[in-house]
Structure 1
Amino acid sequence: MSELAELIAGWAQPGCVTWIGARPERRAEMVSLEESVIAEAGLISDRARVGKRAVTLIQQEHLAAIGSCLGQGPVAPEILRRNLVVSGINLVALKGREVQVGEAILRLTVICAPCSRMEEALGKGGYSAVRGHGGWCAEVVRPGRVRLGDVVQPVD
């Protein structure tokens, strides 16, 4: 393995699940959960997306960055409509890799771009504030239970 490949594969510490959310149907309010099961189609209590967008993740550290871009404190996770908020690990560095989240294994696939509802939810500039901070979509490699406080780390 080259030196650059080793640097890219490295990570400092495991992360942690700090929030779990689901929405039972389109445009429904997010429901905050203490635990859920990640099935092949995503969180059991969430509307199914299947494939490379089955589960959405965002770093807790980005909630403050988004809020800062809006001139306020950290944004509440339910506003951004992602399934999992994790802290302490850089999700960008995990793109394309298998990641253990609780008992489940996910593969981070594509950036989770903001939707037009961010202007409605966050006010003027909300869409732009989320750009680059909106998190990642993931496909389910192995279903399993996820709980608040669970470890998030690369499988390899």
Structure 2
Amino acid sequence: MTHGRAVTGRLAGIARHAVPKGPMEVLDAAIVTLDGGVDGDTRGRLKPGGRGRRQVTLIERRDWDAALAEIGHAIPWQERRANLLVEDFDLPQMPGTRLRIGPVLLEITVECDPCHRMDAIADGLQAALKPDWRGGACSRVIEGGTIRVGDIIRIEES
């Protein structure tokens, strides 16, 4: 442990949605690219002139579980609509921090604010995800590659 943070964690889930507002598909492995994020995910594509701030989204299992406990529901993690579920790891709440997952390097860009669609899943879910970056983090792809459930996640020292 460093300053109360886990040095490494584990990639516990991968998901994507092919069309906006479409169903989430849970995967065991995925290709992540610089121009497309998680292969086949509609949100990962770089728009012309865009900065790719939301290419890949991540959420901590501990935060998802805490939000669900607060509202008294059991809901699969992919309903959060995040691409990656991490466990035993505290996502850095600092834009510019780089994370290594297998061969892939991601850079945290912004907090992934929960939208009103969360309340359509369960009443109160949006509010339960608001404190302390519980809704997760958005990132851009710096180095691509193939990731698999079970891969180690760590902060990349610069």
Q: Secondary structure at the match of 2:42?
A: coil
1:42 to 19, 30, 37: 37
RMSD: 1.7
Letter of the 1:80 counterpart: R
Q: Secondary structure at the match of 2:154?
A: strand
* Alignment coverage as a number of residue pairs: 147
Greater displacement, 41-50 / 96-105? 41-50
Write the mapping of 1:129-140 to structure 2, written as runs, cut at 5 A: 129-132=128-131, 133-140=134-141
Letter of the 2:128 counterpart: A
Deviation at 1:126, TM superposition (A): 1.7
Q: Identity of counterpart residues, as a percentage?
A: 28
Deviation at 1:17, TM superposition (A): 0.4
**Residue 126 in structure 1 maps to residue 121 in structure 2:** no
Name whichever structure is richer in helix by fraction: 1
Query: Where does residue 7 of structure 2 map in the other structure?
Result: 13
Letter of the 1:126 counterpart: L
Query: Which digits, 9 at most, give the CA deviation of each residue in 1:6-44, with x for residues without a partner?
Result: x76x84331100000000001111000000011112101
**Residue 77 in structure 1 maps to residue 71 in structure 2:** no
Deviation at 1:98, TM superposition (A): 1.1
Distance 1:87 1:34 in 2: 15
Distance 2:67 2:135 in 1: 9
Deviation at 1:96, TM superposition (A): 2.1
Distance 1:130 1:155 in 2: 26
Q: Secondary structure at the match of 1:91?
A: coil
Normalising by structure 1, report the TM-score.
0.87
Query: Where does residue 31 of structure 1 map in the other structure?
Result: 25
Query: Where does residue 106 of structure 2 map in the other structure?
Result: 106
Query: Where does residue 155 of structure 2 map in the other structure?
Result: 154
Q: Which ranges of structure 1 fall in alignment gaps of 5 or more residues?
A: 1-6
